[in-house]
Structure 1
Amino acid sequence: MTTEQLTAPPAASWATRTYRVQTAATVVSGLGNAAAPIATAFAVLAGGGGTAEVGYVTGARLLPTVLFLLLGGALADRLPRHRVMVAANGFNALTQALLAALVLSGHAGLWALLVLSAAGGIGQAFYGPASQGVIMASIAPEHSTRAFSLYRMAQNAAQIGGAALGGALTAAVGPGWVLAIDALGFAVAAALRLLIPAEEAGSGHGGTGILTELREGWREFIGRQWLWAIVVQFGIVTACVEAAETVYGPVVAEQRLGGASAWGLAMAAFGLGMVLTGIPMTAWRPRRILLAGNWGVFLFACPALALALHLSLPLIATAMFASGAGVTLFGVNWMIALQQEIPPALLSRVSAYDSLGSICLTPLGTVLAGPAATALTLDGALWTCALTTFLLAALALLAPEVRTLARTEPTPTEAP
């Protein structure tokens, strides 16, 4: 048992109202949002599309996210962050409701899926940086290990329920109803986030121009080797993982695993890995936080490897579980590093650069997933994703700051 566990005050004293509301809203929207990619992929397939079309629709959501992330980060550091989140959630509720209506009415052509997926990506670009800033600013650093682990456990529990529900409902009643649930989740999340106190949300302070503030964020980002090294790694790794899990996975499930419900179970196993790993993460306090976190990146290669080897559904689910465990192992330590090293006033802008670099190649990866499967065969494309992910996890360890960045607060019983 750690010193923090022995001396920590009751949860009510460290879990601020902002933390509690943000966590609850994240769970609500996450339930629907975890199911939406499954529903969208199978809506494309039901409309006669194939691997390439699934990749195009996935890329259509990601590309606007990339284009608008920096603006979203700058606004989140200028305006009350909870207001930015409310506006983004409301916008996503409208776009998903329209998409659901089109799918249910049988009028969701490829163009509609592309346009409305792109609109959803714009909402995410404004929501993401504000969300990161709010959750990090809501917790004192001495409680960050427990708080961020519990936050990710809640977030990932929604991933489990949403993925399982999405696969089952898509198979039972079709993708349109799943998209409608996602729209409702966004609307409820927006209402909840109105309860966040303005004084705890990060009020606007911007007196300079947007470009000046973006330059400040860039200087903070590029001046830290550990930060840009991990983000460069993730730029390619995320593209590989997204192609394997949102494009190739549904296609393999449709071809030989039993369809949407099977892939929903695999995605639920991924979420379960994230949640269960959060339990030991609440107490484990590694001294070298990024070195510990980067070991989780090696596990990201497991799903693509399992699919390439034509393993059975239980073994594919096991691989997804391992990948989910890796996400939590990396994610908690990454959040601690950002909170510890980045000034609070710059959190959203730095988070925007982080997110931008991490997903900038993902739209290209998903769009090229279909042509890659044609050129390399589906198995060859999956092998490429797995090996590239593993290699980049190893290369990140060549950066000295990734290996040496240490926790600053006193932790007498931390792991070496």
Structure 2
Amino acid sequence: MRLQRSLGALSDRRFAWYFTARTVSTAGSVMVPVALAFAVLHIDQSAGALAQVLGVRTLTMVVFLLVGGVVADRFSRIVVLQVSHVLTCLTQALAAYLIISGDATLTQLTVLEGVNGAVSAFTMPAMMGVVPLVVDRSRLQQANALLSFSRSGLAVIGPAVAGLLVVGVGPGWALAVDALTYAVAIVCLTRVGLPRRSTESASAGAPHRSMVRELREGWSEFTGREWLWVIVLAFGLTNAIHSGVIGVLGPLIAKSTASIGEAGWGLVLSAEAVGTVIMTLVMLRLRLRRPLRAGMLAICVLAVPMVLLGVAPAVVPVAVGFFLAGAAVEVFGVGWSTALHEHVPVSVLSRVSSYDALGSFVAIPIGTFLYGWLATTVDVETLTVVSAGVYVAISLSALLSRSVRELGRSSGDPARTGAAADEPSRS
């Protein structure tokens, strides 16, 4: 009976199909970070080359995020996801073909991942806006935990499988699997039925309104909540550090350290996913009374694997650090998604989430390029330890805001104002 209650969100057919689509697409996506990193390093074994591909992907995503938020609030979020998935499938399939055939160049991968990043700018706001429409409000935290469980559960084996594929047959095959899963997810999304817009809500979000006006409305909702912009500001800085240390230095250290290697790096990332899975089981049962306070305290744990990469670059200690980090990320992730779903109206949720993503990710390209340069000029051990200390200081500084510390669970239903009218009719 307790298990049935924990999985209760899946009793809604709409959420069940959406959950299936997300799970299938994630099955391939979890292999991409490992496959892409080592595909680049096979072409050019330098931190600068890896930073270039990752940085351009994030940069194009940042550029299009606000447009993606408006599009997701204006049109059917399921249709937006389907179109985005088609484009992601095509770009990953082409990248896979080039890598497998041995014809891939650094420029080609940079361009393809740049396109992929632009597409993801439409995918993320749409995904954030779908959840409150396909599950009962009382099950929002549970639904977010289930989605996270699916993602992290697959991430347990995905990076390890990707590492083995890289060693065995090459990184292109992992990207080919990713392309295939997006094709399957497109079909699953056709089974998700969303509510139609009411006359009033349709008028409020009709296409004749200018994009500038809709962006201003989203900005007003974003800046009007101190807890929201404070967290986003903090993550704008910490994500730059994280992307530099984990995204750039991590694969570089793994490839140059015999005690880790390419396959070992996949296992390390899988350990992070194990930590997330275990914490997800806890989050299915535990109600966070102060989700942001708990989340920001937990996120400080991400400094642990950063330090270990520098001072103890071996599979076991680094994997332990990533395991703890995975558990910490889950606490913050579920708490943050639930706070957005409970405190932000659904009619503007995609736009608000696009400002969230923009602020959180805008410095990532800077971080990747910066660490690509720092890796050639600063001792790696010193760089990882100092970065970890700065990461913790910034994370804890967010708790100086009372609105962050004290934000609780919503007893009202502001997000449902227009929720039943969010999606246009497809009849």
Name the TM tier (shorter chain): over 0.9
Question: Matches of 1:49 and 1:136 in 2, distance apart?
Answer: 44
Alpha-carbon separation, structure 1, partners of 2:117 and 2:5: 40
Query: Are 2:276 and 1:292 aligned?
Result: no
**Where does residue 149 of structure 1 map in the other structure?**
145
Determine the C-alpha separation between the residues in 1 that align with 2:334 and 2:152. 12
Question: Any idea what SS the aligned residue of 2:325 has?
Answer: helix
Would you say 1:58 and 2:54 are equivalent positions?
yes
Q: Distance in 2 between matches of 1:284 and 1:125?
A: 32
1:275 paired residue number: 277
Task: Indicate the SS of the match to 2:357.
Answer: helix
Residues 39, 179 of structure 1: 8 Å contact kept = yes
The CA distance in 1 between the partners of 2:74 and 2:164, in whole Å, is 42
CA distance in 2, matches of 1:189, 1:201: 25
Deviation readout 1:274-322 (Å, 9 max, x if unpaired): 1110111111113222111111211121221110112431110011011
In the alignment, the residues of structure 2 paired with residue 162 and residue 31 of structure 1 have an alpha-carbon distance, to the nearest angstrom, of 7
Distance 2:10 2:249 in 1: 43
Q: What corresponds to 2:122 in structure 1?
A: 126
CA contact (8 A) 1:29 1:185 kept: yes
CA distance in 2 between counterparts of 1:10 and 1:388 reads: 38
Compared CA separation, residues 13 and 177, structure 1 to 2 (3 A) = closer
SS of structure 1 residue aligned to 2:287: coil
Cα distance change of structure 1 residues 374 and 147 upon mapping to structure 2, 3 Å threshold? same
Counterpart CA distance in 2 for 1:28 and 1:153 is 13
Residues 164/334 of structure 1: CA separation in 2 closer, same or farther (3 Å cut): same
How many Å separate the matches in 2 of 1:190 and 1:369?
Answer: 36
More moved, 190-199 vs 260-269: 190-199
Q: 1:101-250 alignment to 2 at 5 Å? A: 101-199=97-195, 205-207=205-207, 208-250=209-251
Q: Any runs of at least 4 consecutive aligned residues in structure 1 with deviations exceeding 4 A, and if so which? A: 8-14, 200-204
Offset of residue 148 of structure 1:
1.5
TM-score by length of 2: 0.91
2:244, 2:372 within 8 Å by CA — same for their partners in 1? Answer: no
Q: Helix, strand or coil for the counterpart of 2:376?
A: helix
Match in the other structure for 2:35 = 39
Kept in 2, the 8 Å contact 1:373–1:379? The answer is: no
| Residues in 2 aligned to 1:128 and 1:165: alpha-carbon distance in whole angstroms | 25
Q: 1:220 to 1:252 in 2, by over 3 A?
A: same
Quote the RMSD (CA, aligned, Å).
Answer: 2.1
- Aligned-pair distance for 1:164? 1.6
Q: String of CA shifts for 1:20-39, please: whole Å, max 9, x gaps.
A: 12221112111211111211
Determine if contact 1:41/1:250 at 8 Å carries over to the other structure: yes
| 1:341 CA drift (Å) | 0.7
Superposed displacement of residue 145, structure 1: 2.4
Q: Greater CA deviation, 52-61 or 154-163? A: 154-163
Q: Aligned to 1:308, which of 288, 310, 313?
A: 310
The question of 1:403 aligning with 2:399 is answered no
Larger deviation: 305-314 or 227-236?
305-314
Alpha-carbon deviation of 1:201?
10
Answer yes or no: is the 8 Å Cα contact 1:30–1:162 preserved in 2. Answer: no
| Pair 200,53 (structure 1): closer, same or farther in 2 beyond 3 Å | farther
Which of 77, 83, 88 aligns to 2:73? It is 77
Structure-2 change in CA distance of 1:10 and 1:274 (3 Å): closer
SS at match of 1:368: helix
- Asked if the contact 1:18/1:197 (under 8 Å) is kept, the reply is yes
What SS does the corresponding residue of 1:375 show, helix, strand or coil?
coil
1:86 correspondence with 2:47: no
User: Residues 252 and 13 (structure 1 numbering): CA distance in 2 closer, same or farther, change over 3 Å?
Assistant: closer
Query: Which deviates more, 336-345 or 310-319?
Result: 310-319
Question: 311, 319, 322: which one pairs with 2:321?
Answer: 319
How many corresponding residue pairs? 406
The residue identity in structure 1 corresponding to 2:275 is: G
Unaligned runs of 5+ in 1: 411-416
Equivalent-residue separation in structure 2 for 1:68 and 1:282 (angstroms): 34
**Equivalent in the alignment of 2:360:** 358
Query: 2: CA distance between counterparts of 1:300 and 1:137?
Result: 32
- Which amino acid in structure 2 is aligned with residue 90 of structure 1? V
Give the direction of change, closer, same or farther, for the CA distance of 1:305–1:11 in structure 2 (3 Å limit): closer
Letter in 1 for 2:133: A
| Counterpart-to-counterpart distance in 1, 2:25 and 2:37 | 19
Q: CA deviation at 1:212?
A: 0.7
